[in-house]
């Protein structure tokens, strides 16, 4: 029998992390909506489109054909082939099927990659602003996020020199996410390729979070994995969530060196096992059919972005970089901090929610203190209503 006196319930590693900030805001907004409050909701980072019909039909057909059992942990060969073929066609990469694992969402791909690569005390470089989950995922693994500040005046640009300056002998990996959540910034090809080459030379892994890679508005789809000579240090972390309006399906993947993908599959074999079998068939349909639906959705996002930015121009004091991808705007709200007792971006976001009934996400969990994030994957009506409410609320401060 144990004679331990103090009983500790939770582990250190679970106490190192927080509930996802975006999920917390979404939960609060849901409560207000349930109470009948009409919100202009720019909170959730997910497409407002329905999943395209041919993708839904493939899942229904898989169920009807009783494709409802366990599959190979890393996904059936057909879905992994569809992933590597799509990536090859779009970015000229040449991954083999056993260099691909299909995961229950892109977030799990990132989580598992960090778990198999990052040892206690290892450093992982993360440019600011960053997607909310990186910090916690790294800390859960025992790693240390090393934040690299960027300049808003330069559209949050990240250069090879900035990364070179942050590398130490403890650096294990760099996480890059462009188009960016939260800023919508897109990396110049030269900067991206330069960082990938530098990382390879220095023996550092580049985790390419390609969640929004197909939502780049300047017509040029770019992947750091196209730098063939750096393949040994590149891991692509992909997601079907935003590309095909499939957030609820939980479909993501990783592409990378066989040893790392094998380790991620091993971890998956002891946790989630395979992704839902019918989702694998839906994903094959998404990846192999015409990509016209992606083109159409992208066109709509550009129109919605322009509508929000035009609306912002009518709000004195609010400034905003022009996002070149994803579906977020990241306006600078520093002019309003200090007015009428507004203490911080979080404070402003919370007052926008309770007093103006507009859902935004404050900048702090993305690593900046002077912004709020709005997802414009909503209807034009919601944009007009929400922008009008923000304008009215800020004018009163």
Ligand X SMILES: Cc1ncc(COP(=O)(O)O)c(C=O)c1O
Nearer to ligand X, 90 or 347 (CB): 90
**What does the block give as tokens for 15?**
């106490």
- In whole angstroms, how close is the CB of 330 to ligand X at the nearest point? 13
Q: How far apart are CA 199 and CA 315, in angstroms?
A: 42
Structural element, H or E, at residue 390: helix 380-396
206 neighbors 238 (Cβ within 8 angstroms): no
Cα dihedral 301, 303, 307, 310 sign: positive
| Bridge partners (DSSP) listed for residue 144 | 123
The neighbour count for residue 169, using CB atoms within 10 Å, is: 6
Radius of gyration of the CA atoms of the chain, in A: 21
Binding to ligand X by CB under 6 A, coded x per residue (else -) over 92-131, reads: -------------xxx-----------------------x
Single out the residue of 67, 72, 91, 247 in contact with ligand X (rule: CB under 6 A): 247
Considering only CA atoms, which of 278, 288, 181 is closest in space to residue 244? 288
Nearer to ligand X, 247 or 334 (CB): 247
What DSSP designation does 52 have?
A: P
- In whole angstroms, how close is the CB of 275 to ligand X at the nearest point? 11
Nearer to ligand X, 134 or 336 (CB): 134
Single out the residue of 224, 252, 362, 363 in contact with ligand X (rule: CB under 6 A): 252
- Of 319-358, which residues contact ligand X (CB under 6 A)? none
Nearer to ligand X, 82 or 394 (CB): 82
Residue 177 binds ligand X (CB under 6 A):
yes
Residue 209 binds ligand X (CB under 6 A):
yes
Residues 6+ apart with CB under 8 A from 60: none
Nearer to ligand X, 137 or 356 (CB): 137
- Of 30-69, which residues contact ligand X (CB under 6 A)? 45
- In whole angstroms, how close is the CB of 179 to ligand X at the nearest point? 9
Residue 241 binds ligand X (CB under 6 A):
yes
Nearer to ligand X, 106 or 363 (CB): 106
Structural element, H or E, at residue 176: strand 171-176
Q: How far apart are CA 319 and CA 172, in angstroms?
A: 36
Nearer to ligand X, 26 or 177 (CB): 177
Of 72-80, 168-176, 225-233, 239-247: span binding ligand X (CB under 6 A): 239-247
Phi-psi region of 245 (alpha: psi -120 to 50; beta: other; left: phi over 0): left
- In whole angstroms, how close is the CB of 321 to ligand X at the nearest point? 17
| Bridge partners (DSSP) listed for residue 374 | 329
Residue 181 binds ligand X (CB under 6 A):
yes
Residue that is written with structure tokens 């960090």 in the block: 114
Count residues binding ligand X (CB under 6 A): 13
- Strands 328-329 and 358-359 turn out to be unpaired
Nearer to ligand X, 287 or 356 (CB): 287
Binding site for ligand X (CB under 6 A): 45, 105-107, 131, 177, 181, 209, 211, 239, 241, 247, 252
């Amino acid at each position: 029998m144990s004679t331990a006196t103090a009983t500790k319930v939770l582990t250190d590693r679970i106490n190192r992390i927080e509930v996802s900030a975006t999920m917390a805001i979404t939960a609060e907004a849901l409560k207000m909506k349930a109470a009948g409050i009409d919100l202009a909701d720019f909170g959730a980072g997910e497409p407002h489109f329905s999943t395209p019909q041919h993708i839904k039909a493939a899942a229904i057909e898989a169920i009807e054909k009783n494709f409802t059992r366990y599959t190979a942990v890393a996904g059936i060969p057909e879905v992994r082939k569809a992933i590597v073929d799509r990536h090859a066609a779009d970015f000229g990469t040449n991954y083999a099927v056993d260099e691909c694992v299909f995961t229950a969402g892109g977030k799990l791909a990132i989580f598992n990659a960090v778990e198999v690569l990052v040892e206690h005390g290892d450093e992982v470089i993360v440019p600011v602003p960053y997607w909310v989950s990186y910090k916690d995922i790294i800390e859960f693994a025992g790693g240390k996020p090393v934040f690299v500040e960027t300049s808003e005046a330069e559209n949050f640009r990240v250069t090879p020199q900035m990364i070179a300056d942050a590398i130490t002998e403890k650096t294990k990996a760099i996480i890059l996410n462009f188009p960016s959540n939260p800023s919508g910034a897109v990396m110049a090809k030269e900067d991206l390729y330069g960082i990938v080459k530098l990382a390879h030379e220095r023996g550092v892994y580049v985790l390419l979070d390609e969640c929004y890679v197909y939502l780049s508005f300047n017509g040029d789809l770019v992947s750091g994995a196209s730098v063939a000579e750096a393949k040994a240090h590149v891991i692509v972390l992909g997601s079907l969530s935003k590309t095909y309006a499939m957030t609820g399906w939980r479909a993501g993947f990783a592409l990378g060196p066989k040893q790392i993908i094998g380790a991620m599959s091993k971890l998956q074999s002891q946790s989630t096992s395979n992704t839902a079998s019918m989702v694998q068939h839906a994903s094959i349909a998404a990846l192999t059919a015409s990509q016209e639906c992606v083109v159409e959705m992208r066109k709509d996002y550009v129109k919605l972005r322009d509508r929000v930015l035009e609306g912002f121009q009518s709000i004195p004091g609010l400034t905003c970089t022009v996002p070149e991808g994803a579906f977020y705007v990241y306006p600078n709200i520093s002019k309003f901090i200090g007015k009428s007792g507004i203490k911080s971006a979080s404070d402003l976001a919370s007052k926008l929610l309770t007093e103006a009934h507009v859902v935004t996400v404050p900048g702090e969990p993305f690593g900046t203190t002077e912004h709020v994030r709005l997802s414009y994957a909503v209807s034009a009506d919601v944009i007009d209503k929400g922008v009008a409410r923000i304008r009215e609320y800020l004018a009163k401060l």
